[in-house]
Structure 1
Amino acid sequence: MRLVPWWALLSSGCAPVLLIGGWNLAEWMQGPGYDPTTRTISVLAAYGMPGYGVMTGMLLVLGACYIVTAFGLRAATLLGRAALAGGGISAMVLTLVPAPPSGGSFGHGAVVTVGFGLLAIWPVLAVDRGARAPWGLRPALARGDGGASWGLRPDVAIAVSAAMCACAVWFLVGLQLQGLPGVAERVLTFAQALWPFLVVVSCWPHQVASEPT
């Protein structure tokens, strides 16, 4: 039995495709008056906007993809999988508290913050401390080629989480200073959608022994 089933590979691979496809379709429906570099994705999902239905459906399916992937990612720790699933639930809850067409919303902002936070920290929480962990769940310490000593190597999960947190700060600063929050948000959400797929891919070649059920 593989560390991840085929359907986890499917769900994780669909997430970034759905995300990009959803916001691009909603932008096309919104028309030329929408500037994706300065306007957030949430505006596209605001109630009454042309792309409201598209974005609502996308968020529901995207959240389901995260949850399914978390359920199937057996190589990750339970805490990391719970954080990934929590990010998926947050995406679904966003459909219940859409952002207003203009201005802010405390409820929407709170759900976005929780979702971004969970999806930013799950890579670190999911790390497998075993010496033979897949590269997507690689620990900071690993055996040398000879197998006799331990040595430092780059911790992929920490680097990914740090990059996501940096993008989140970029997004917040962009909102406050009227910079390019649309670009920052798209980079962040795409990275958070892509990373589960890359983790699943890193686990795919690994086999584990299992007893017949």
Structure 2
Amino acid sequence: MRAVPSWALVPSGCAPVVLVAGWTTAAVLEGPSYDAARQTISVLAAHGAAGFWVMTGALLALGVCHLGTAWALRPAATAGRVALAAGGVAAFAVVLVPAPSSGGALRHGAVAATGFVVLALWPVLAAAGPAAPWGLRPAPCLAATAVMGLGALWFLVETNRHGAPGLAERAVTCVQSLWPFVVVVSCLYHQRTNGTT
């Protein structure tokens, strides 16, 4: 089994940090008019938003993190690595096709949905078998994909009922940005305990 380089901790660990720091800072810049529970992250990255550059920078950094992690996760199945990289590219695409300040747009929604889908599927596509590191075994991979899929469904329900889509989106994107780090840590632990480099 090919080894994961220790530098993979940097992009995988930075992904959730830059995402949460980005939306937190952008929301503070936007002020009390922004409702994090009811409004999506995309509103913060819309042209004209006070924190536009902060959220845009965070999304670009997230894309770079996913691409770096996909490159480093050599023990993962190729389809999973490609899906994770596609999630990184989707983050770039979200920046290129921003939502209007009202928070809705068909083109932006399609790009964001594509990102949700590929990032929800990458764990199960990355599964490498029962002897693989814990984060690449079939059961944890399937569970991660199920949790992300349920989170995306929750987001759709909240959006359609005009409830709290911002809260649902933050929950699912937190899981999607944190899971690569969990996989990298499990791979590095597996390598250490099995004496592989």
Q: Same fold (TM over 0.5)?
A: yes
**Which whole-Å deviations, capped at 9, do the CAs of 1:173-212 have from their partners, x for residues lacking one?**
10110111111000000000000000000000233757xx
| Residue 121 of structure 2 corresponds to residue 137 of structure 1 | no
- Which residue identity does 2:134 align to in structure 1? W
SS in 1 for 2:189: coil
Counterpart mapping for 1:26-65 below 5 A? 26-65=26-65
2:126 maps to 126
For structure 1, the 5+ residue unaligned runs are 140-154
2:108 maps to 108
SS in 2 for 1:187: helix
CA distance in 2, matches of 1:27, 1:206: 39
For structure 2, the 5+ residue unaligned runs are none
CA distance in 2, matches of 1:132, 1:3: 14
Q: Percent identity?
A: 55
CA distance in 2, matches of 1:103, 1:20: 19
User: Is the Cα–Cα contact under 8 Å of residues 3 and 74 in structure 1 kept in the other structure?
Assistant: yes
CA distance in 1, matches of 2:137, 2:22: 32
Aligned residues: 194
Q: TM-score, normalised by structure 1?
A: 0.88
Whose radius of gyration is greater, 1 or 2? 1
| Residue 21 of structure 2 corresponds to residue 18 of structure 1 | no
RMSD between aligned residues? 1.5
Residue among 125, 146, 150 paired with 1:166: 150
SS in 2 for 1:205: helix
Q: Which moved more, 1:201-210 or 1:170-179?
A: 201-210
1:8 maps to 8
CA distance in 2, matches of 1:183, 1:205: 33
Structure (1 or 2) with the greater helix fraction: 2
User: Is the Cα–Cα contact under 8 Å of residues 42 and 103 in structure 2 kept in the other structure?
Assistant: no
